[in-house]
Amino acid sequence: MKIVDVDHLSFEYGNRRVLHNLNFSIRQGDYAVLTGENGSGKSTLMKVLSGELESAKGRVVIAGSDSLTAALHRIRIGYMPQNGTSRNAFFPATVEEIMETGMYHPFWKKWAVKDKKERICRTLEEMGMKDALNRRIGELSGGQQQRVMLARVLISKPQLLLLDEPAVGVDQESLRQLAAVLKRRNQEEAMTIFLITHGNQAVFSGANRFFKMEEGGVEEK
């Protein structure tokens, strides 16, 4: 079953074409990695898939719907954008408070789970960050912040996980932890993962599909 289906997708910033006639699909349970040079359009594609950018030509179908709003009613989608930690340096929230925001579903209008504290601790422990529960997010290193932000996305147990450059600015320990958790979640929970990376492709050893983006086009390797 296709969980993401991209059909003749194009996108332009003004008069500059960034994505050109893309056609590819991600099956349920896939762990797919997209590589490409900086400026090739990888992040633009992820923003279109996540709904951050809307004015695109072509069709994007997620969970059988070409409306992201409708798709969010059908499945849980987790999205971690590029440089997701860049604004955290002076943010006063604690790690626990950051994690709580990942448990709120915008359409249910309530907290998604009752055992908040237990699930927060369990998810942070999976990422090796349980001891940071009461620390402010800005006190952590870039790699530690990235682990917390991934934990925030994972806490809702998304069925589709979209990650834009999760390895950027991450130390080796955090990178290994991140890769191990993604592999385990995909294999044990059949979580569908679509991940963009500029490098470090070999680190994501659990992936079963690899795509490359060049000059606004995508091909499977």
Q: Is 3 helix (H, G, I), strand (E, B) or coil?
A: strand
Beta bridge partners of 62: 4, 65
Q: In sequence order, what are the residues at sequence separation of 6 or more whose Cβ sits closer than 8 angstroms to the Cβ of residue 109?
A: none
| pLDDT given at position 217 | 86
Please state the rounded mean pLDDT for residues 82-107. Answer: 74
- pLDDT confidence bin for 7, thresholds 50/70/90: very high
Question: Of all helices (H) and strands (E), which one includes residue 45?
Answer: helix 42-50
Answer whether residue 111 shows pLDDT above 60.
no
Burial profile 74-110: b = 16 or more Cβ within 10 angstroms, e = fewer? ebebbbbbbebbeebeeeeebbbebbbebbeeeeeee
Please state the rounded mean pLDDT for residues 3-20. Answer: 90
Q: Is 65 helix (H, G, I), strand (E, B) or coil?
A: strand
Angstrom distance (rounded) from CA 182 to CA 78: 13
| pLDDT given at position 85 | 54
Domains of the chain: 2-220 (3.40.50.300)
Answer whether residue 201 shows pLDDT above 80.
no
Exposed/middle/buried for residue 6 (C-beta within 10 Å: 0-12, 13-18, 19+): buried
Which region among 101-105, 127-131, 157-161 has the lowest average model confidence (pLDDT)? Answer: 101-105
Nearest to 121 by CA among 148, 145, 141: 148
Alpha-carbon distances of 129 from 12, 126, 138, rounded to whole Å: 40, 8, 14
- pLDDT confidence bin for 31, thresholds 50/70/90: very high
